[in-house]
């Protein structure tokens, strides 16, 4: 069974975009959904023909408690959280920020998470029945590939209507999953047990200390 790579851009003010590419980077299918059950229905038939790898542009899960460790970038060391700090954000988000790949929207406790994150949590739980799920971050992918033309996609421009940049992010999430699964990328974070973020390439200058969780 061949692999298919799916990228999902999560929204709540408008429909969510999804895009499916094969190992060659050719767009197989794309479209829109509003609910997790609708996403499952849209992708379920693909699971009978392909081994699915799904990249979702949203946090996998919320914090179970405030984060106790903060990264000191100038000194490149972890430090304890100050009483004035909220403790939001996961290890994977800290790692992406420390490497200047993107500015995360820090994940909070579940009761404090915005609606789009709540939908993301539900999508991870629902879609893991179809295949392997990963957390992708298109903004980080754009940064990593700014001067790297090697990642190529063959796409068309159908079903772009609800949001052109949303569909572009879905394509990028799908491409990120393909690069990671085929061994050209890497994952960061996970030391706090709250999930990792996948990247389309390996870090050229990894900051080892931030990749290791102090707990």
Nearest to 140 by CA among 101, 92, 105, 180: 101
What is the model's pTM?
A: 0.95
Nearest to 55 by CA among 144, 187, 148: 187
Residue 36 lies in a domain: yes
Q: What are the tens digits of pLDDT across the range 32-46?
A: 999 999 999 999 999
Domain count, the chain: 1
How far apart CA 12 and CA 137 sit, in angstroms, is 17
Residue 182: domain span: 2-61+114-189
Two tokens, residue 100? 């200047």
Residue 91 lies in a domain: no
Residue 201 lies in a domain: no
Question: Quick check: 215 and 119 in contact, CB under 8 A?
Answer: no
pLDDT of 162 reads 82
Residue 153 lies in a domain: yes
Residue 203 lies in a domain: no
- Classify the phi-psi angles of 193: left when phi > 0, otherwise alpha if psi is within -120 to 50, otherwise beta: left
| C-alpha dihedral, 103 to 59 to 54 to 71, nearest 10° | 50
Instruction: Please report which confidence band the pLDDT of residue 160 belongs to, taking 50, 70 and 90 as the band edges.
Output: confident
How far apart CA 50 and CA 57 sit, in angstroms, is 21
Residue 144 lies in a domain: yes
Give the residue-averaged pLDDT of 148-155. 91
Task: Find the distance separating the first CA and the last CA of the chain, reported in whole Å.
Answer: 40
- Whichever domain contains 129, its CATH number is 3.30.420.140
How far apart CA 28 and CA 65 sit, in angstroms, is 40
Residue 184 lies in a domain: yes
In this structure, the chain runs to a length of 215
Residue 43 lies in a domain: yes
Q: What are the tens digits of pLDDT across the range 41-88?
A: 999 999 999 999 999 999 999 999 999 999 999 999 999 999 999 999
Place of tokens 């931030």: 210
Describe the crossing of helices 115-127 and 36-44 by its angle, rounded to 10 degrees: 40
């Amino acid at each position: 069974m061949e692999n298919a790579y799916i990228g999902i851009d999560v929204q709540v003010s408008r429909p969510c975009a999804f895009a499916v590419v094969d190992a060659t980077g050719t767009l197989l299918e794309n479209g829109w959904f509003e609910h997790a059950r609708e996403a499952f229905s849209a992708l379920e038939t693909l699971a009978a023909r392909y081994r699915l790898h799904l990249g979702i542009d949203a946090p996998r899960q919320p914090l179970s408690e405030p984060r106790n460790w903060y990264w000191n970038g100038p000194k490149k060391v972890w430090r304890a959280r100050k009483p004035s700090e909220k403790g939001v954000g996961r290890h994977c988000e800290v790692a992406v920020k420390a490497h200047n790949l993107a500015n995360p929207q820090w994940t909070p406790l579940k009761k404090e998470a915005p609606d789009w994150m709540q939908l993301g949590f539900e999508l991870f739980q629902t879609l893991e029945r179809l295949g392997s799920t990963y957390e992708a971050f298109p903004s980080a992918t754009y940064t990593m590939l700014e001067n790297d033309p090697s990642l190529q996609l063959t796409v068309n421009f159908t079903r772009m209507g609800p949001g052109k940049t949303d569909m572009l992010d879905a394509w990028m999430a799908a491409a990120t999953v393909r690069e990671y699964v085929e061994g050209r990328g890497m994952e960061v974070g996970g030391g706090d047990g709250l999930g990792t973020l996948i990247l389309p390439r390996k870090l050229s200058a990894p900051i080892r200390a931030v990749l290791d969780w102090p707990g």
